[in-house]
Amino acid sequence: MPAWLELLLRVAGVLAAFLVLPLVVGQAEHKVMAHMQGRLGPMYAGGFHGWAQLVADGVKFVQKEDVTPRDADRPVFRLAPAVALLPYLLALLVIPLGPGDLVGQPLDIGLFFVLAVVGIGVLAVLMSAWASANKYSLLGGLRGAAQLLGYELPLVLAAASVAMAAGTLSLPGIVEAWRPWWLLWQAPAMVIFFVAGLAEIRRPPFDMPVADSELVFGYMTEYTGLRFAFFLLAEYVGIVVIAALTTVLFLGGWHGPFADAQLGWLWTLLKVFAVAFVIIWLRVSYPRLREDQLQRLCWLVLVPLALAQLVLTAAVRLAL
């Protein structure tokens, strides 16, 4: 196969995952929340089990007027939703779906690349907050910056633990090195990574930057129509990326109970959707953390635990 054709197929596959998987997660969130909270609305659109709810939401966003505040910094205001989406698209390029060639672009420093591009998300928060010329948006942006910059540290430390255990920064290499007993050994790192990942994508209970009861809708207050929909899409893509990274780093990726490599992609997807379900469940089940609680959890709990996990990993590696 020509190199250009192989590259085209890989990019097309990543784009398909980028467009389809977040919509599946969004539809699942509608249904899970409807069942857990007894919501009737999402169960009616289209008839059977509300199958058309996501379509109805899309039509609603397309029909809404696209408004830009008069005092807004228009170029920055309009660019922010795209900046919110771009890091997750780049992250999906290097996350393996299965063994062999089932990855957009295998990189020897894939983990470093993913953590670097995911951190760009804070720019979208700050851009939208500043450019909106709205005090509620600015407050939400400052909260978001403090939250994202704080939780970057435990996220990176937890990922470093499993990279040290595997002896590589390659995401396919980490999956190849993974062993089932790592579920116990690296369990603290997995919990730390998962919690910090929730904070990075600003999902409840870590949604202080968009606290609707205090800040209208935080840094997204002035956004309408498709630009607002892009921010929501970025949230759902973030769920997919965090769930996929948790799967690849800590749950064995394509490893399943059977030694059939042909079904590796299926095990990966099943694990990703299982982690995504936990993310949705947490949104429904837990109240929003206050700013002081959020920062205390980061600096007094997650960071010390992540450092202790690094010491444990180093000791085990030396012993082996």
Say how many C-beta atoms besides its own lie within 10 A of residue 304's C-beta: 11
Q: What DSSP string runs through 200-226?
A: HTT-TTS-GGG-HHHHTTGGGTT--HH
pTM equals 0.91
Residue with tokens 């949230």: 235
Burial of 107 (0-12, 13-18, 19+ CB in 10 A): middle
pLDDT at 64 over 90: no
Give the model's pLDDT for residue 306: 94
pLDDT at 159: 94
Evaluate if residue 318 carries a pLDDT over 90.
no
Across 32-60, average pLDDT: 77
How much is the average pLDDT of 36-60?
76
DSSP 3-state assignment of 110? helix
pLDDT band at 261 (very low <50, low <70, confident <90, very high): low
Residues 38, 233: Cα–Cα separation, whole Å: 24
Which pLDDT value is given to residue 99? 84
Q: Which of 99, 65, 86 is nearest to 174 (CA)?
A: 99
Taking the C-alpha atoms of residue 35 and residue 94, their distance in angstroms, rounded to an integer, is: 35
Enumerate residues 6+ apart whose C-beta is below 8 A from 44: 50
Each residue's pLDDT tens digit, 157-171: 999 999 999 889 999
Hey, which of 184-198, 251-265, 278-292 has the most confident mean pLDDT?
184-198
How would residue 147 be classed by pLDDT, with cut points 50, 70 and 90? confident
pLDDT tens for 70-94 read 887 888 888 898 898 889 989 998 9
pLDDT tens-place string over residues 268-282: 899 999 999 999 999
Q: Is the pLDDT of residue 46 over 80?
A: no
pLDDT at 148 over 90: no
The 10s digit of each residue's pLDDT in 90-133 is: 999 899 988 877 777 888 888 999 999 988 888 888 888 888 88
Residues 184-193 pLDDT 10s: 889 999 999 9
Confidence of residue 69 (pLDDT cuts 50, 70, 90): confident
> Is residue 304 within 8 Å of 192, Cβ to Cβ?
no
Check residue 28 and give its pLDDT.
Answer: 86
Domain spans of the chain, in order of start: 3-319
pLDDT the model gives residue 136: 86
More confident residue, 228 or 190: 190
pLDDT reported for residue 246: 95
